[in-house]
Structure 1
Amino acid sequence: MGASFVYVFIFLLTLLLYVFLRKNKKESQQIAKLPPGSMGWPYIGETLQLYSQDPNVFFAEKQKRYGEIFKTHFLGCPCVMLASPEAARFVLVTEAHLFKPTYPKSKERLIGPSAIFFHQGKYHTRLRRLVQGSLSLDAIKNLMGGLGAIAASTFDSWAGGHVVNTYQEMKKLSFDVGILIIFGNLEARYREELKKNYLIVDKGYNSFPNNIPGTRYKMALQARERLTKIISDIISERKEKKLIEKDLLGCLLNSKDENGQILMVDQIMDNIIGVLFAARDTTASAMTWIVKYLHDNPKLLEAVKAEQNAIRRQNDEANQPLSWSQIRNMPLSSKVVLESLRMASIISFTFREAVADVEYKGYLIPKGWKVMPLFRNFHHNPEFFPDPQKFDPSRFEVAPKPNTFMPFGNGVHACPGNELAKMEMLIVIHHLVTKFRWEVVGTESGIQYSPFPVPMQGLPARFWKESSN
């Protein structure tokens, strides 16, 4: 009788425990629910809606309907969109270890799986330290002359009043800057081969990924193999000549970790190609917008010209080039750069992936879901930037509220080359406004995405060299 009672007691206790745990599980699921939003059609989700309209309108309408955190489904992935600075900081800074960088495998294959963008943890920290070291303020001071020469040579090729595609030309300029920071003064034969094959990779980067011969993606993969061979030859030549350079390649070649391990050649190559990608299109897009915004604001252009011509006259009298101290003392031009980055929001959003179930403000972000902080949404939020559609550099006379302005991202994966990019833009402004006048061709306005936002048709324009100032 006693034994039977014990068995019944254990059974009832187990049953009660089961009911209690099940109830708690349901309650926890109710507490942490998925964010509001629509997942669209099976598999394709809302991809068609996103790409059939201005993506900014798509995201703005979602935010208006659902709030600052909402779910959607596109490019085959369930996603959580975050449209507040606090949420972006949560993902990129305070809880960054819970969200890994993520890219489509097809893009990883073209850049290289060992590139810094695709990693977190120890390896990422090591690579970031190396890249930041080669792009530190002290390091980029020594690039002033080289950047100035590239800008002057590029603009001279535009002179004469013929129509140029501003964006495509700025991409050429940024590519040459990328070559300079990675390889230093590289031989012309290597530079031309790198450029030729990089352009093929670039054309295939956003194409449909397949291995059918003759397709853009297949040709990009083949060009990627040729890039590997070219970089390998450059590395072999450096080792043979025992050259110790202070450029990025030199930093990567001479790096040793705490155990004395050097980087593998494949790791070096992937990161070189990755930096070329990072250095080119985004900066070129920003510089194209600067040309447009200055053109569209004549009074502002005259004020910027006055600032830059004062510097030019000072240098002409002393027979000296543009200096680092002068770059650091261009108050109006610096605000033009910042406002251009805000208005254009070249990086409209970034991709992360939850590595575990994460709860944020009562919402569940399931493991494996993509998470996208929407930088453009808070760059264009009137709460943080009054009259956000107006180009107004004076708004940066006061620092923006914390976490509301992230043109280079935030946290451990923020762009390590942001100081170089800003310096490049200021050098371009200096050479452009002191030596040239220009007019935009055509009346078509708007934005096209390729994939970064640029003025329509790449901003066709005519440039003439000023005879005097």
Structure 2
Amino acid sequence: FFCVFCRRQGEPPLENGFLPYLGCALQFGANPLKFLREKQKKHGHIFTCQVAGKYIHFLTDPFSYHSLIRQGKHLDWKKFHFATSAKAFGHGSIDPAEGNTTENFHHTFIRTLQGNALDALIEAMMENLQYVMLQSRASKFQPNTWVTEGLYTFCCQVMFESGFLTLFGKEFNPNHDKNLSKRETERARILNALENFKEFDKIFPALVAGLPIHLFKSAHSAREKLGEALLHKNLLKRDNLSELVMLRMLLNDTLSTFDDMEKAKTHVAVLWASQANTIPATFWSLFYLLK
């Protein structure tokens, strides 16, 4: 038996969908942006949809976000973050109350992403941006050869490769190791990780909405491959790991009961957080500068 809620007076417009329990899940998972635009056009800026057994309220007016954020004392952001991370990335719960880890993530990020640690991270990012644009990308082409590609592809490749090297280091030292084949091998691995990242990122809204990742075979495979690349045994082979990743590796090993793959998937979460908004923001910033 399935229960279907009915809209009550004063509540936002309600979409139950055509399928019991799943509701609008399939349409939302197939193309979240198109789905939200259609419902916004039909219902206005605020509406409710049944997605995989849950009723989710959507607020699509950016000028109203501040009114919602002001109600923070009535909203449990931490509980949502913990649940969403475990659901999307496939590791065990990182809520200390669940007993899988005692790491205080807020303190970890303050320690490694502020002050002197942030200065070092910015400096490393600048060095890697220059390396990627002036050496890594140019190494496979003849000198003075022009390369043409789309602006979004350019931003995607440059920001992902630079960000990946900044967080997770290099398998070689570019200042001492002049072996071109090693550089090309390293870049090929990172660009392969980029393809896996994009495949996984496409269905991220559906995962947050509650759909199981096993419905998306290619995205599930992509997430597992990202996890394999970020296993601790593989990260230990790399030089110049960021302070954030080194500390997270230490705390994973000493304060958690996660297995090796679950530890790696917490690093996938860090990778996603560093790239998911950075790449689009870089593209639009560069687009308007060029325009």
Same-fold status (TM-score > 0.5):
yes
Band of TM-score, shorter chain: 0.5 to 0.7
State the match for 1:85 in structure 2: 65
State the match for 2:156 in structure 1: 171
State the match for 1:251 in structure 2: 247
**Which one of the candidate residues 280, 289, 299 is aligned to 2:284?**
289
For 1:53-452, what aligned pairs fall within 5 Å after superposition? 54=34, 57-58=37-38, 60-61=40-41, 64=44, 69-74=46-51, 77-82=54-59, 83=61, 84-85=64-65, 88-89=68-69, 93-97=72-76, 100-101=80-81, 102-103=83-84, 107-109=88-90, 112-113=91-92, 119=95, 126-156=104-134, 157=137, 161-187=146-172, 192=187, 195=190, 198-199=193-194, 201-205=196-200, 206=202, 209-210=213-214, 216-217=218-219, 219-220=221-222, 223-224=225-226, 226-229=228-231, 231-235=232-236, 247-255=243-251, 262-264=255-257, 266=260, 268-296=263-291
Q: Residues 283-331 of structure 1, C-alpha deviation per residue, up to 9 Å, x if partnerless?
A: 11111111211222xxxxxxxxxxxxxxxxxxxxxxxxxxxxxxxxxxx
What residue ranges of structure 2 are gaps of 5+ in the alignment?
A: 1-6, 139-143, 174-181, 204-211
Cα distance, 1:52 vs. partner? 8.9
Alignment check: 8 A CA contact 2:168 2:245 kept: yes
State the match for 2:3 in structure 1: none
**Greater relative contact order (CA < 8 Å, ≥ 6 in sequence):** 1
Cα distance, 1:275 vs. partner? 1.0
Alignment check: 8 A CA contact 2:124 2:166 kept: no
Alignment check: 8 A CA contact 1:244 1:250 kept: no
SS at match of 1:288: helix
Whole-angstrom distance in 2 between the partners of 1:155 and 1:196: 14
Whole-angstrom distance in 1 between the partners of 2:263 and 2:32: 39
TM score, norm. by length of structure 2: 0.62
Alignment size in residue pairs: 248
State the match for 1:6 in structure 2: none
Q: Residues 177-198 of structure 1, C-alpha deviation per residue, up to 9 Å, x if partnerless?
A: 3334433455376955862663
SS at match of 2:50: strand
SS at match of 1:294: helix
RMSD, matched Cα: 4.6
Alignment check: 8 A CA contact 2:89 2:265 kept: no
Q: Which has the higher helix share?
A: 2
Whole-angstrom distance in 2 between the partners of 1:124 and 1:185: 30
Cα distance, 1:34 vs. partner? 4.8
Q: Residues 406-458 of structure 1, C-alpha deviation per residue, up to 9 Å, x if partnerless?
A: xxxxxxxxxxxxxxxxxxxxxxxxxxxxxxxxxxxxxxxxxxxxxxxxxxxxx
Whole-angstrom distance in 1 between the partners of 2:226 and 2:84: 18
Whole-angstrom distance in 1 between the partners of 2:215 and 2:18: 28
Whole-angstrom distance in 2 between the partners of 1:192 and 1:63: 47
What residue ranges of structure 1 are gaps of 5+ in the alignment?
A: 1-29, 297-469
Cα distance, 1:223 vs. partner? 2.0
Amino acid at match of 1:58: E
Whole-angstrom distance in 1 between the partners of 2:9 and 2:157: 49
Whole-angstrom distance in 1 between the partners of 2:87 and 2:96: 19
State the match for 1:374 in structure 2: none
Q: 1:222 to 1:197 in 2, by over 3 A?
A: farther
Amino acid at match of 2:148: V
Give the greater-gyration-radius structure (CA): 1
Amino acid at match of 1:262: L
Alignment check: 8 A CA contact 1:180 1:186 kept: no
Q: Percent identity?
A: 15
| Range with bigger deviation, 202-211 or 142-151 | 202-211
